[in-house]
Structure 1
């Protein structure tokens, strides 16, 4: 087989790229860095990502890049073609030593184009001999990663099986069916045949027809998978054919054709542009190192290579990386919301801020992840969105909680302010305060609810409405109690004085007047209650209960007033006043002046009997309504016994009060008797003359001494006034009564102290308490007064006779 040696010379063409005859003689500044992607030990390089980003500047290229690979026999000028075509720096064979130069697979970037070129180790090399394992592996790898496969061959090799690399192409076809058999018509690879050293004797069309016929024959001879028996070669491959002149014999024409061929790789407007969308492997450049490494691992482990699966795995890996990076930034940005929300504050514009931060995270994810497998990208995007929403939901709920608290405080404050206003209606105030609080909560809740979430504030809104209702109910009870308290005060004020006046004028119509006062007051209070109850939105049942309670409360106030007016002291005062009115004053209301001839006993007995008849009147409240002519009644309850409330004085108390009154009335009788005696006793005239003569010196001494004069005036003037008004007897009676009561109290205290002292002494020193005679066995002081006054009266009557 004739082989034209590769001899590299610097071209004089302006756009030519210098050949690299020896790596040591290359100019590294003018050429792109290269990477030994898979070495001769079939080990994949871990530096691909670094070269892509740092050395070749494709880190942000995304899908805007392409991959091409070159196939061909060893020492056919593949590396030389790539160096001149793309400006790479692959090693080429030295003319002095024809031996393998490309070992494994090298990769570099085309100069001034976003194209990655892989220089694949040549076939039929004597170094590997019959070992075609790497040949198949490299073909499988190139087919999985490249969009365009450049097949480099000599013109004189066309029509030959081995020389034209038909064995290699058979391997390529088998690999293609393995990789893309399930994507018939969807995944295609372009085979670009570059026929070298074309002298023009055989037209390109004839050469391409020959190659097509050979390819079709190889394709039909393949053992195809089940279901793909009728598939065509064009379902998986597109073909392009071009020629290049002889590099040594026609150097200038060679350089011109290389420049024209370069346009197919760099100019999308060229009609023969090779990087069409249907050839793309849809692998973003930032994930190429992972994708290519995964492909090679599968190849090395002899596992079935499923490119769609590999693309999905790559997409999952890269999408997770991109999502984690975006989410880390997202978490850092939302930290600022935690403290104010946890301390109960409302974060202003929280919704727009959360939406902006979430949107930035999703946008960052979309920017890089959208290049990968569509289904994986969508799934990972949804996962990230859910993860972000889940984290933001905590702030959403925290903000809702703070909005709930502030809405409750707002409701309470506004309600209190509204109720302080004059003429405020509770129901109107509650409705206005509730509307404002709910509007505030709903406005804040809607502002923080983000799109693409299933967040809901219905439960919080329901809890808020329940809370406001409970607060309003409690406040209504409070205001109702306040209103009822005011009504109770008003009832007390309206009942106390009129009922007191009615009870101070006892008589047959006394209880009728009391019931009339009660009915009138309750009726006025009920009207006021109904007027105010309408402002509380009370239903009929509640109004009826309040009305019944109002009547009972008014009745309780009435009975309390009756009890106050029915204590012993007040009863005795009422009886004494009535007795004085009947005994000391005549029918015309004038004071009586008793004369010796007047009958005192009959008026006394009449007045006392009429007064005593009033005591049973106070025994029980008579509920007969004088207006309606029927008895007034209230329904009893568990804590209210209407019948029991009617009882005022028991039998024993009536008897006790009657007895005390009779004793007090005796004093009036004695006073009247003494006044008659005092008017009958006359002092002789000579006694006055003797007093003047004998007391003249003392009289002069008193007049001249201011102290004596003042004391005499202070004592004498009141005595003269009382004597003139005939009140000396009354004063004496009161003084004796006070003395008796004081004496009794002192004796009781003395007995208590003596009994206590005996109880504190040890048992051996205790004595039996002395038995004192009961005071109740003593004769009535008024009886002794009667006897004494009777004796005095009889003796006085004898003297007067």
Structure 2
């Protein structure tokens, strides 16, 4: 070295020898890296590598004492830059492990936000997911930077495009989108289940009652529940960030179709029950016989009342024959009017009902005839003829006459209330009689096919007597369902004078 007096020659020699020593040291480091990797984990990686790399640099600087300082520094930096590629794979494995832990923690926290099956999410779902994502990204950045030793070029690579930070953020967004789609499907399924429960509860009393306005009420309940379910879905989808106008229209259409199928299933089940015939007759019996063995008075008109009661019964049959969920041509696309009862069964139900109506009409006419009071008039006439002297004596004695009038009046009132009816019915009968005198009009004929054919050819009273046999025949038992269940009418003896 004493011959190196010229600066240029000394610098060139320093460069050559420092480079040789650097290569030798790099081989030694390459062998040591395997030992380093086995002695570290995520927590100790940064500190351990910094110490080992510092020790290598110190050894290299000691071995190059006497060479140009500038050349030594450049060789030391190059040695350090050559060491990091040897440790990059280990560093990436630790960062990847850190990212996997962050992803698992995020997925677990996201699952906690999702409601259990059958429940709806709480409000603020999107904001809570956003907070989870921000916390996950902070934790990853902090953990990844904690794995970068001093002087390593890996920190910038974390934040470059398609780097580990960018990849993690994309993964979290995919997890968020998947969770939102799953939640949206769960919300729709839950709202459909809620719609089914509420609509079913509302339909049961309407089907049991079978009122003339049943389909009007069914349409009202149907629209109300669809509107409530659609509003609930839109509010939740907006909250979770999964709403769009197209989704709202599709959701409403799906809800309407689902509700329509539910209504049709309910009516189809009811229409196929054997108790439908009893339900039809029950509606007639409630209007005609008032749900019991009715006593028909002289002023009652079975021929007129049977028409109205029969129409109510046939209306029940018509309501359960085909769907009337939408009026006219107002059916939405994809839905159409369906029949619940085939024509054969409908004809059978109608024929059986007409036969029952005819029997009830004949029974009412017989009961009305037996309720006449002409025998009471004959008895009063006999009293006047045979008891003339006693009547004259009673009239000539005011005290006894007043007592007799009071007793007779009380007896008459009791008689009319028990036998004939209340005063309102008497007034109604008087007005009806007066109207018939002023503008006489024949009573409308009974429109039932079976009944009209039978009563036109045969006298009703004679036919009833033929059916009933001797006085005191018991009324035919009939099954009449009450609201929600079947009711059996107990046979009662015919009312006779």
Q: TM-score range by the shorter chain?
A: 0.5 to 0.7
Summarize the Cα distance change of 1:591–1:440 in structure 2 as closer, same or farther, 3 Å threshold: farther
Q: Which has the larger radius of gyration?
A: 1
Q: Find the partner of 2:135 among 404, 429, 436.
A: 436
- Contact 2:288–2:305 (Cα < 8 Å) also in 1: no
Within 1, Cα distance between the matches of 2:260 and 2:313? 24
SS at match of 1:566: helix
Q: Deviations over 1:348-406 (max 9, x none)?
A: 14323322222222222222135445676456434432332112211221112111111
Summarize the Cα distance change of 1:539–1:528 in structure 2 as closer, same or farther, 3 Å threshold: closer
Q: Deviations over 1:114-162 (max 9, x none)?
A: xxxxxxxxxxxxxxxxxxxxxxxxxxxxxxx436xxxxxxxxxxxxxxx
Summarize the Cα distance change of 1:354–1:146 in structure 2 as closer, same or farther, 3 Å threshold: closer
Shift of 1:332: 2.2
Q: Deviations over 1:443-501 (max 9, x none)?
A: 01112223444321131111111111111111112222222222222211221122333
1:535 counterpart = 2:236: no
Q: 1:400 corresponds to which residue?
A: 95
SS at match of 1:448: coil
Shift of 1:442: 0.5
Q: How many residues in Structure 1 have an aligned counterpart in Structure 2?
A: 370
1:476 counterpart = 2:177: no
Q: Find the partner of 1:425 among 119, 124, 127.
A: 124
Q: 2:52 corresponds to which residue?
A: 357
Q: Find the partner of 1:520 among 211, 224, 231.
A: 224
Within 2, Cα distance between the matches of 1:369 and 1:660? 115
Q: TM-score, normalised by structure 1?
A: 0.40
Q: Deviations over 1:696-737 (max 9, x none)?
A: xxxxxxxxxxxxxxxxxxxxxxxxxxxxxxxxxxxxxxxxxx
Q: Deviations over 1:598-655 (max 9, x none)?
A: 999997787556533444444242535xxxxx98665x4xxxx13x3xx1217xx441
- Contact 2:181–2:242 (Cα < 8 Å) also in 1: no
Q: Deviations over 1:725-759 (max 9, x none)?
A: xxxxxxxxxxxxxxxxxxxxxxxxxxxxxxxxxxx
Within 2, Cα distance between the matches of 1:495 and 1:794? 48
Q: 1:175 corresponds to which residue?
A: none
Q: Find the partner of 1:319 among 4, 22, 37.
A: 22
Q: 2:214 corresponds to which residue?
A: 510
- Contact 1:526–1:550 (Cα < 8 Å) also in 2: yes
Summarize the Cα distance change of 1:329–1:439 in structure 2 as closer, same or farther, 3 Å threshold: same
1:576 counterpart = 2:278: yes
Within 2, Cα distance between the matches of 1:529 and 1:601? 55
Q: Deviations over 1:31-88 (max 9, x none)?
A: xxxxxxxxxxxxxxxxxxxxxxxxxxxxxxxxxxxxxxxxxxxxxxxxxxxxxxxxxx
RMSD: 4.6
- Contact 1:418–1:424 (Cα < 8 Å) also in 2: no
| 1:48-67 alignment, distance < 5 Å | none
Within 1, Cα distance between the matches of 2:286 and 2:113? 63
Q: 1:414 corresponds to which residue?
A: 109
Summarize the Cα distance change of 1:512–1:601 in structure 2 as closer, same or farther, 3 Å threshold: closer
- Long gaps (5+) in structure 1: 1-144, 148-178, 188-305, 341-346, 625-629, 680-789
Summarize the Cα distance change of 1:587–1:675 in structure 2 as closer, same or farther, 3 Å threshold: closer
Higher strand share: 1
SS at match of 2:43: coil
Structure with bigger RCO (C-alpha 8 Å, 6+ apart): 2
Summarize the Cα distance change of 1:326–1:352 in structure 2 as closer, same or farther, 3 Å threshold: same
- Contact 1:327–1:361 (Cα < 8 Å) also in 2: no
Higher helix share: 2
- Contact 1:575–1:661 (Cα < 8 Å) also in 2: yes
Q: Deviations over 1:394-434 (max 9, x none)?
A: 12211121111111111122233345699452112201211
Summarize the Cα distance change of 1:588–1:667 in structure 2 as closer, same or farther, 3 Å threshold: closer
- Contact 1:411–1:433 (Cα < 8 Å) also in 2: yes
Within 1, Cα distance between the matches of 2:112 and 2:48? 35
Summarize the Cα distance change of 1:380–1:392 in structure 2 as closer, same or farther, 3 Å threshold: same
